[in-house]
Structure 1
Amino acid sequence: MAGNSDPLTPRAKLAVTAGKAVAAASRAAGRGSGSVIGGRVALKLDPDLLARLAQNLDVTLVSATNGKTTTTRLIAEALRAAGPVVSNALGANMPAGITSALAGSSDARFGVIEVDEKYLAGVARDTDPKCIALLNLSRDQLDRAAETRMLAENWREGLAGSKAVIVANADDPLVVWAASSSPNVIWVAAGQMWKDDAWSCPSCGGVMQRPGDDWFCGECGFRRPTPSWALSGDHVLDPHGSAWPIHLQLPGRANKANAASSAAVAAVFGVPPQVALERMYQVQAVAGRYDVVQFQQRDLRLLLAKNPAGWLETFSLIDPPPTPVILSVNARGADGTDTSWLWDVDYTRLTGHPICVIGDRKLDLAVRLEVANQHFQVCDDLDQAVQLCPPGRIEVIANYTAFQDLRRRVGN
């Protein structure tokens, strides 16, 4: 139980203090939250600091290509029913950012931590989690991350024999294969709209068969496990077969799936589904995502979509035509500099929407839209794009750094 004893050595306390000072200086200089630089300095001074900070916490790790920031928020809200929670709510999800977040709270009982896919195995070693939620694996940042099967293998090796309860998406073959090395797995039928990263069997390389919502490998017999939790329309089905209504302010099927996984995690800690799902209603926006902001007499809804799986889910939740759509794509370090993933997205789903294109790589996107026979205009910036749209709602979809640029411009 947290707070009973102080796990921090004098060296660790010095590291925490130095990290906070550096973070404060970074904020004062207008360079963002300072959490990453603060965490780096703290870990330099005490390389074991993350393990020490996690020692007195019941830790949940959340990892995936899509949905981890939102799911982390939903789990944190649910677990607050059982005690104080510390979380890296702003999405700094590598060891430095995680260390910084945990250093900010001394009285928490639960740690709910979003972890970048590449760092999951290492952070799990350091934090000795009670629960790990695995949502999906899909192609993303092709220049930085290995292809998805290698990531799944990394997870599978890193989590083999883990004492943690693994809450895993039964509908993603890569996640199932990764989680299957663990002795204690709770399977959730959370769905998988994007299937193009799992046509070959991660176990043997054979061709996956996908009848309806099921999947299996015709060659080695690797198949979808039977889930004990499931998303069913607007309800979560628990292991006893009870259906609990999902009340969310966040839009779309993907967020209902995130809520189903979050309810399964909350149950591991003794929070009943009804309580967990009611608490999730508090979440209106996540680090600016889904926020509706007033800008130049228009209502802009800000939507983050970083990769083909995310864009597909996002297209499914936007208002119908003729609602205008502004698309913004950058290719800076945090986005991945390779934009070839744009060709994997089905842009015909935007037919009927007036489209404006902005961002560092707007011309890459323009070529892709032209091939998809979409009508669009290339604009210099957000201001020009908004001026071309009539008063009312505008859906604005951006990848990672483009999204941060948009938030700065609209003062969000």
Structure 2
Amino acid sequence: MTEPKLPIRTRLASGLTKGAAALSRATGRGEGSVIGARVGMLVDPDMLANLAAGRRIALISGTNGKTTTTRLTTAAVGVLGEVATNSLGANMPTGHTSALVKAGPTPYAVLEVDEHYLPQVLEATHPELVALLNLSRDQLDRAQEVAGIAAKWRTLLTGKNVHVVANADDPMVVWAASVVPSVTWVAAGQRWLDDSWVCPECGSTIERSGEQWGCVTGDLVRPIPQWSVRDDGVVDPTGTYHEVHLQLPGRINKANAATALAVADRFGAPVLEALPRLAQVTSVAGRYATVVKDGRTIRLLLSKNPAGWLEAFDMAEDVPTLLAINARDPDGHDTSWLYDVDFSPVRGRRVLITGDRAYDLAVRLEVNDVRFEHVTSFGKALAAVPPGRLEVIANYTAFQDIRAELDRVN
């Protein structure tokens, strides 16, 4: 890629971004991607748009799976050339700006985008492609209703010259994406159904039969997918089956891989070359990581909302399990969403709980008739279980706390 001629203001802002980020790291205040970009964008408000110009860009958005799908897509597109990406999940414009500054001139960019910021980032970056994964409920004190986000996406995409890769199994995503003339449909599945029983087009009931779904009036029906997950692999638009070998657990990650391959294929990456790249992804910002400590094999699973907990229970083995809940700003302060989660899959196994809001979780588990033990820290949970495997399922800041505590004990 020939380095684009950036405006002087953007070059100056990029230098300040790097400097502020380096200072943040040097003083132990964090990676510095957000503060660095904030400094740069004060100097050049159009910094993101200027840095995006000249690149082939894919945006990845949805309620769950954004970070993992972005990582897998980056690996798949990487067979074509260097790819800029916000690999640590900083998914707002500051994170995108910082990622493009850090990467320098690259022909490709794959950017995870918070679902609420998709309109702003799409307007700034003019992507070639947008991948829409799913929409489900999140903490309402910091998120909109699912139907509101779907409507925002639909309005955003109307009249846009952009290709969309979309989940054919999520009615809200299908409704939002159906206004675009060019769509690649992926049968990525939808285990969480509680946000898509009502047609967003007409308000009638959505009925399901096996893989098929549709509004009873026929206003919205499941489109025919070009890509689908089958057994241990994916089927491409030609009908060819490709076995997918991942180091990431669960069917949901097979679906994320199918979306990644669909995006890479649209960019021109040969599927047979992209497939081995997916197998090289071992963990994503610490998610799915396995750590051995004092004879315990600890696996970390991040779950931020009801749909995410459903998938985590699908991945977790029937072994001692630590559940951790906080309710800080990044998590949302409202823990009422716990009552949307069915905790019965962990009934009968040894369950430990911790976190700032462990007592909220305790009440919820009692309602679900799940026996548990309360511990005040990850270290105490580790000491309480015998040598062997320990599954850890935590929401965002609880997950970060546990990672930090693991680093200390290591």
Q: Which residue of 1 aligns with 2:31?
A: 33
Answering whether residue 388 of structure 2 is matched by residue 406 of structure 1, we say no
CA-to-aligned-CA distance 1:85-110 (integer Å, 9 cap, x gap): 11000000000111000011223111
Question: Is 1:201 paired with 2:199?
Answer: yes
| CA–CA distance in structure 1, aligned partners of residues 209 and 277 of structure 2 | 36
Q: Distance in 2 between matches of 1:91 and 1:313?
A: 19
Q: State the alpha-carbon separation in 1 of the partners of residues 186 and 90 from structure 2.
A: 26
Structure 1 residues 16-165: aligned runs within 5 Å: 16-165=14-163
Question: 1:240 corresponds to which letter in structure 2?
Answer: T
Residues 57, 108 of structure 2: 8 Å contact kept:
yes
Is 2:358 aligned against 1:358? no
TM-score for both structures, normalised by structure 2: 0.98
Match runs of 1:174-253 below 5 Å: 174-253=172-251
Superimposed CA distance per residue, residues 176-223 of structure 1 (whole angstroms, 9 cap, x where no aligned partner): 011111111110111111111101111111111111111111135211
Task: Give, in whole Å, the separation in 2 of the partners of 1:7 and 1:128.
Answer: 18
**Aligned alpha-carbon RMSD (Å):** 1.1
Deviation at 1:296, TM superposition (A): 3.6
Alignment check: 8 A CA contact 1:62 1:72 kept: yes
The whole-number CA distance in structure 2 between the counterparts of 1:271 and 1:400 is 33
Q: Distance in 2 between matches of 1:371 and 1:387?
A: 27
Q: Give 2:310's match in structure 1, choosing from 309, 312, 318.
A: 312
Letter in 2 for 1:24: A
User: How far apart in 1 are the matches of 2:103 and 2:381?
Assistant: 42
Give secondary structure in 2 for the equivalent of 1:313: helix
Deviations 1:252-286 (A, max 9, x none): 00000000111110100111222222210000000
Deviates more, 1:303-312 or 1:156-165: 156-165
Partner secondary structure for residue 26 of structure 1: helix
- Check whether the contact 2:4–2:105 (CA below 8 A) recurs between aligned residues: no
Aligned-pair CA distance for 1:384 = 1.3
Structure 2 match to 1:388:
384
Query: 1:161, CA displacement in angstroms?
Result: 2.0
Whether the 8 Å contact between 2:202 and 2:219 is mirrored in structure 1 is no
Match of 1:288 in 2: 286
User: What is the CA deviation profile of residues 228-262 of structure 1, one whole-angstrom value per residue up to 9, with x for unaligned ones?
Assistant: 11111112111111001111010100000000111
* Cα distance in 2, alignment partners of residues 147 and 346 from structure 1: 20
Q: Distance between the aligned counterparts of 2:115 and 2:46, measured in 1?
A: 21
How many pairs align? Answer: 408
SS in 2 for 1:186: strand
The alpha-carbon deviation at position 7 of structure 1 amounts to 3.2
Residue 160 of structure 1 and its aligned partner are, at CA, apart by 1.4
Tell me which of 370, 374, 383 is aligned to 2:370.
374
Letter in 2 for 1:380: T
CA 1:209–1:116: 2 relative to 1, 3 Å: same
2:275 aligned residue? 277
Report the identity percentage. 53
> 2-side partners of 1:297 and 1:29: how far apart?
34
Aligned residues of 2:201 and 2:219 also touching (Cα < 8 A): no
Query: Once the 2 structures are TM-superposed, how far is the Cα of residue 5 of structure 1 from its aligned partner?
Result: 4.2
Contact 1:11 1:46 in 2 (8 A): yes
Residues of 2 paired with 1:98 and 1:283: CA distance? 21
Aligned partners of 2:297 and 2:389 also within 8 Å: yes
TM-score (normalised: structure 1)? 0.97
1:236 and 1:246 in contact (8 A); partners too: yes
Are 1:357 and 1:376, in contact at CA under 8 Å, matched by a contact in 2?
Answer: yes
Code of the residue aligned with 2:299 in structure 1: it is R
Deviates more, 1:400-409 or 1:212-221: 212-221
Moved more, 303-312 or 100-109: 100-109
**1:332 alignment counterpart:** 328
How much does 1:402 deviate? Answer: 0.6
Give the SS at the match of 1:215: strand
Corresponding residue SS for 1:118: coil
Distance in 2 between residues matched to 1:145 and 1:115, nearest whole Å: 15
- Distance in 1 of aligned mates of 2:84 and 2:348: 44
Q: CA separation in 2, counterparts of 1:82 and 1:303?
A: 31
- The Cα shift of 1:141 comes to 2.5
Q: Is contact 1:7-1:53 (8 Å) kept?
A: no
1: CA distance, partners of 2:123 / 2:230: 34
Contact conserved, 1:7 with 1:52, CA < 8 A, in 2?
no
Higher mean C-alpha displacement, 60-69 vs 291-300: 291-300
- Whole-angstrom distance in 2 between the partners of 1:345 and 1:231: 25
Deviations 1:284-334 (A, max 9, x none): 0000001111234311101101111010011011112xx100000111000
User: 1:70, 1:286 within 8 Å by CA — same for their partners in 2?
Assistant: yes
CA positional deviation for 1:42: 1.1
